[in-house]
């Protein structure tokens, strides 16, 4: 997809340009007049000119070609304008107008109509319900942001699902000296979506880092492809809004609680090398620095003139993947030479409250020679002058241009000018000791990103011979379907009634478990349809009665029984294995801890299909794998991940299967026994 006409249009029309300065169309026209060097065609049926620019009655009246039409008419007029635009040969329409999906059923209907109209058309659409689009080079501002907000030119791009967040960030960015390349508000994304825009910005030479504010995705798989591609060359920062508050974390399937679940998003972001940012503030820091900095080492030097600040930076570092660098002998010798006798040569390197700018310079040079990232902390104290110290840091940064040097100048009035000076001279500077640590950590992790490999997944073969199931399958039927899963499924037989029990028990043996068979009773336990640990015939006979009674009370048809070998779960570890077709990412499988530990071990390991080798390794290092191994079943770890891969492949191949629940899987002495299985299919 070629976005050149959108990013570098030769002409722009503003449909809904107005004389009323409070109208959005007026603000957009004003912003374009100030910023855009190409041709502007304001469209307004009732005027001859607006803001000194000749107007046209409608798009058709414009003789010249139009690359972009910005539409700011009332919602019910949008479709008509789109039709005109398409006829005119407009390449991109940007629908600013609100009043669609976001306002309820009536708006959703209008949005559907637009979607339908666009099928098969060449013209592409951004929005509706968006703030617009801004490019810094070549410059044009087709948003209704107040013209007093003048973003700086730079290499950070924004894609935002919220206009309010985009406008707030652009405004906040100015003081922080954050420069932008392109800013796009996607609104309801009726046509062009985040994935396409990430692709476009990946190809954009003016963009060195992409920020995305995301609430949900329509096509998660396509987005992941775009994100992975982007991460190969530039950092992609994602602020995810809308954390699921559903606490039922262990329920991976059926309930659908997983759709859009935050942990799945996290798994997805990690897989594609995206940097998940926690809040707008961190987003702004990273937006500023990510286009400029690459971190190649996780061994950091912290230089400080105050012990407390060094401690706070170190505390923050202890929550990251970073460590404190060790000095080599040369560095130690040099530091001993330049620092006052008796100074402890540690890391953090406390050069003391009486450190002059010269001491900052000399010690910074000494540690910079190690070629590791250096964080320089400055607290306004007696001798060191903020401006002079800043100048020395700027000089050393220039001299050691390969070394990443970041500064934190703590305080307000006393250090404000020096912070500005550092920024203007391309030295990243912060106000608190934990901030540079967070930035270095995020960018170091980004630097570790490699495109995922899928060798284990591809090597694992499953046989797909059966037909896709048409109804939900429980118990034995599910077990039969999932035979090739690689875990032991507890031996069981179907029996019609009590009279078949004798033959069956010969095969299964005591102790055994008797379960109701009923297509309408997925939760057999809850209705009293399961009797466990049956040790002799008398008990077995009693169990038939118990279950028949339960079926009656709960009004479920008694279609027979299933007889299983009894597995003592209290002596093993209980695991939950599940798969779900996520609306946004497709097949997602999970391995979690069940049984009594579920209360304390808040862990479910999610993997999106196709499962990567990195997922496989990460699972083997996970807390869940450690519990399984420590319980005396190290080989079961491999069985579990292999089964998860098979489960993912089955979910992917059988289109109608929406969920598979294998719960519990009892693990003991390296055997894995699935005690209950459920397969749910789309009706």
Q: What is the nearest approach in angstroms of a copy of itself to the Cβ of residue 545?
A: 27
Tokens matching residue 207: 């963009």
Please pick, from the candidates 48, 64, 175, 402, the single residue that binds a copy of itself as defined by CB under 8 A: 175
Q: Which of residues 232-261 bind a copy of itself (CB under 8 A)?
A: 239, 241-243, 245
Please pick, from the candidates 19, 88, 176, 620, the single residue that binds a copy of itself as defined by CB under 8 A: 176
In the DSSP assignment, the letter for residue 562 is E
Nearer to a copy of itself, 216 or 528 (CB): 216
d(CA 53, CA 209): 36
d(CA 35, CA 54): 17
Place of tokens 């004003």: 30
d(CA 497, CA 310): 75
Place of tokens 């048809």: 557
Is 130 a binding residue for a copy of itself by CB under 8 A? The answer is no
Please pick, from the candidates 60, 80, 89, 104, the single residue that binds a copy of itself as defined by CB under 8 A: 104
Please pick, from the candidates 79, 108, 118, 311, the single residue that binds a copy of itself as defined by CB under 8 A: 311
Q: What is the nearest approach in angstroms of a copy of itself to the Cβ of residue 70?
A: 14
Q: What is the nearest approach in angstroms of a copy of itself to the Cβ of residue 540?
A: 25
Is 380 a binding residue for a copy of itself by CB under 8 A? The answer is yes
Cβ(579)–Cβ(252) under 8 Å? Answer: yes
Q: Which residues contact 199 (CB under 8 A, 6 or more apart)?
A: 1, 226, 229, 230
Q: Smallest Cα–Cα separation from 543: which of 559, 530, 556, 526?
A: 530
Nearer to a copy of itself, 460 or 638 (CB): 638
Q: What is the nearest approach in angstroms of a copy of itself to the Cβ of residue 219?
A: 21
Q: How many CA atoms lie within 13 A of 130 on its CB side?
A: 28
Beta pairing, strands 473-474 & 657-668 = unpaired
Is 545 a binding residue for a copy of itself by CB under 8 A? The answer is no
Is 634 a binding residue for a copy of itself by CB under 8 A? The answer is no
d(CA 277, CA 283): 6
648 sits in the region (left: phi over 0; alpha: psi -120 to 50; else beta) called alpha
Q: Which of residues 411-430 bind a copy of itself (CB under 8 A)?
A: 411-415
Please pick, from the candidates 382, 401, 465, 499, the single residue that binds a copy of itself as defined by CB under 8 A: 382
Is 677 a binding residue for a copy of itself by CB under 8 A? The answer is no
Q: What is the nearest approach in angstroms of a copy of itself to the Cβ of residue 320?
A: 12
Q: What is the nearest approach in angstroms of a copy of itself to the Cβ of residue 242?
A: 5
89 sits in the region (left: phi over 0; alpha: psi -120 to 50; else beta) called left
Q: What is the nearest approach in angstroms of a copy of itself to the Cβ of residue 552?
A: 30
Q: What is the nearest approach in angstroms of a copy of itself to the Cβ of residue 96?
A: 10
Please pick, from the candidates 59, 173, 376, 577, the single residue that binds a copy of itself as defined by CB under 8 A: 173
Q: Which residues of 59-73 are buried (b: 16+ CB within 10 A; e: fewer)?
A: beebeeebbbbbbbb
d(CA 346, CA 508): 68
Q: What is the nearest approach in angstroms of a copy of itself to the Cβ of residue 117?
A: 25
Please pick, from the candidates 379, 397, 418, 569, the single residue that binds a copy of itself as defined by CB under 8 A: 379
Q: Which stretch binds a copy of itself (CB under 8 A): 170-178, 252-260, 517-525, 534-542?
A: 170-178
Is 22 a binding residue for a copy of itself by CB under 8 A? The answer is yes
Beta pairing, strands 657-668 & 561-565 = unpaired
Nearer to a copy of itself, 351 or 588 (CB): 351
13 sits in the region (left: phi over 0; alpha: psi -120 to 50; else beta) called beta
Give the helix/strand (H/E) hosting 186. none
Q: Smallest Cα–Cα separation from 345: which of 286, 303, 387?
A: 303
Q: Mask 71-90, x = binds a copy of itself (CB under 8 A)?
A: --------------------
Q: Which stretch binds a copy of itself (CB under 8 A): 302-310, 392-400, 492-500, 581-589?
A: 302-310
Give the helix/strand (H/E) hosting 667. strand 657-668
Tokens matching residue 119: 């099928």
Q: Smallest Cα–Cα separation from 463: which of 612, 646, 673?
A: 646
Nearer to a copy of itself, 99 or 519 (CB): 99
Q: Which stretch binds a copy of itself (CB under 8 A): 248-256, 381-389, 447-455, 516-524?
A: 381-389
Tell me the site size for a copy of itself, rule CB under 8 A. Answer: 86
Q: What is the nearest approach in angstroms of a copy of itself to the Cβ of residue 384?
A: 11
3-state helix, strand, coil in the chain (%, to 5): 40, 25, 40
Strand residue runs (E) in 278-339? 299-304, 323-324
Report angle CA 256, 259, 261 to the nearest 5 degrees: 115
Q: Which residues of 434-468 are buried (b: 16+ CB within 10 A; e: fewer)?
A: bbbbbbbbbbbbbeebeebeeebbeeeebeeeeee
Q: What is the nearest approach in angstroms of a copy of itself to the Cβ of residue 4?
A: 29
Q: What is the nearest approach in angstroms of a copy of itself to the Cβ of residue 592?
A: 11
Please pick, from the candidates 451, 632, 634, 653, the single residue that binds a copy of itself as defined by CB under 8 A: 632
Nearer to a copy of itself, 101 or 477 (CB): 101
Please pick, from the candidates 127, 132, 163, 187, the single residue that binds a copy of itself as defined by CB under 8 A: 163
Please pick, from the candidates 400, 432, 454, 510, the single residue that binds a copy of itself as defined by CB under 8 A: 432
Please pick, from the candidates 46, 63, 64, 148, the single residue that binds a copy of itself as defined by CB under 8 A: 148
Please pick, from the candidates 309, 472, 518, 673, the single residue that binds a copy of itself as defined by CB under 8 A: 309
Q: Which of residues 522-541 bind a copy of itself (CB under 8 A)?
A: none
Is 306 a binding residue for a copy of itself by CB under 8 A? The answer is yes
Q: Mask 35-74, x = binds a copy of itself (CB under 8 A)?
A: ----------------------------------------
**Helices 78-88 & 105-118 angle (0-180, nearest 10):** 10
Q: Which of residues 593-612 bind a copy of itself (CB under 8 A)?
A: 593, 595-601, 603
| Burial degree of 2 (CB within 10 A; 0-12, 13-18, 19+) | exposed
Nearer to a copy of itself, 173 or 393 (CB): 173
């Amino acid at each position: 997809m070629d976005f050149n006409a959108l990013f570098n249009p030769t002409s722009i029309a503003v449909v809904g340009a107005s004389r009323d300065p409070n109208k959005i169309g007026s603000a957009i026209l004003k912003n374009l007049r100030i910023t855009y060097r190409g041709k502007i065609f304001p469209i307004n049926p009732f005027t001859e000119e607006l803001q000194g620019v000749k107007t046209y009655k409608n798009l058709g009246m414009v003789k010249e070609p139009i690359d972009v039409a910005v539409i700011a008419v009332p919602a019910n007029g949008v479709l008509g304008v789109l039709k005109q635009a398409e006829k005119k040969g407009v390449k991109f329409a940007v629908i600013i107008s609100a009043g669609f999906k976001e306002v309820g059923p009536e708006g959703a209907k209008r949005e559907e109509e637009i979607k339908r109209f666009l099928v098969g058309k060449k013209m592409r659409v951004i929005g509706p319900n968006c703030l617009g689009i801004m490019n810094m080079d070549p410059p044009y501002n087709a948003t209704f942001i107040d013209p007093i907000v003048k973003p700086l030119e730079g290499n950070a791009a924004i894609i935002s699902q919220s206009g309010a967040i985009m406008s707030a960030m652009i405004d906040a960015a100015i003081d922080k000296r954050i420069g932008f390349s392109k800013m796009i508000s996607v609104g309801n994304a009726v046509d062009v979506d985040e994935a396409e825009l990430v692709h476009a910005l990946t190809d954009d030479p003016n963009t060195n880092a992409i920020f995305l504010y995301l609430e949900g995705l329509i096509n998660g798989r396509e987005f992941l492809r775009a994100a992975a591609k982007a991460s190969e060359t530039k950092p992609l920062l994602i602020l995810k809004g809308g954390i699921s508050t559903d606490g039922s974390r262990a329920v991976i399937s059926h309930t659908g609680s997983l759709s859009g679940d935050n942990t799945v998003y996290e798994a997805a972001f990690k897989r594609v090398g995206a940097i998940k940012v926690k809040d707008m503030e961190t987003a702004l820091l990273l937006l500023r620095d990510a286009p400029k900095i690459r971190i190649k080492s996780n061994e950091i030097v912290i230089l400080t003139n105050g012990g407390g600040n060094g401690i706070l930076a170190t505390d923050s570092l202890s929550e990251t993947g970073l460590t404190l660098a060790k000095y080599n002998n040369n560095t130690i010798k040099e530091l001993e030479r330049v620092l006052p006798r008796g100074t402890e040569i540690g890391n953090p390197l406390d050069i003391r409250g009486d450190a002059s700018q010269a001491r900052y310079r000399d010690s910074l040079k000494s540690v910079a020679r190690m070629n590791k990232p250096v964080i320089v902390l400055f607290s306004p104290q007696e001798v060191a002058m903020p401006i002079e110290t800043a100048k020395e840091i700027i000089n050393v940064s220039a001299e050691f241009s390969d070394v990443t040097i970041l500064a934190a100048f703590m305080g307000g009035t006393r250090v404000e000018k020096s912070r500005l000076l550092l920024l203007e001279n391309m030295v990243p500077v912060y106000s608190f000791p934990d901030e540079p640590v967070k930035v270095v950590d995020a960018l170091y992790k980004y630097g570790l990103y490699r495109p995922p490999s899928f060798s284990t997944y591809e090597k694992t073969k499953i046989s797909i011979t059966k037909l896709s199931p048409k109804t939900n399958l429980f118990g034995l039927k599910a077990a039969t379907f999932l035979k090739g899963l690689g875990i032991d499924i507890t031996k069981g037989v179907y029996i019609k009634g009590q009279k078949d029990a004798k033959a069956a028990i010969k095969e299964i043996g005591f102790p055994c478990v008797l379960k109701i068979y009923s297509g309408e009773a997925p939760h057999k336990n809850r209705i009293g349809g399961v009797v466990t640990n049956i040790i002799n015939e008398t008990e077995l006979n009693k169990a038939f009665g118990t279950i028949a009674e339960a079926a009656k009370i709960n009004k479920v048809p008694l279609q027979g029984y299933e007889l299983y070998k009894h597995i003592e779960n209290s002596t093993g570890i209980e695991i939950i294995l599940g798969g779900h077709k996520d609306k946004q990412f497709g097949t997602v499988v999970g391995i979690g801890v069940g049984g009594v530990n579920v209360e304390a071990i808040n862990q479910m390991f999610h993997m999106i299909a196709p499962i990567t080798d990195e997922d496989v390794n990460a699972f083997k290092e996970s807390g869940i794998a450690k519990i399984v191994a420590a319980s005396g079943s190290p080989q079961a770890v491999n069985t579990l991940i292999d089964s998860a891969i098979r489960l993912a492949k089955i979910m992917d191949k059988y289109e109608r299967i929406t969920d598979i629940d294998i719960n519990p899987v009892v693990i003991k002495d390296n055997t894995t026994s699935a005690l209950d299985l459920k397969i749910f299919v789309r009706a």
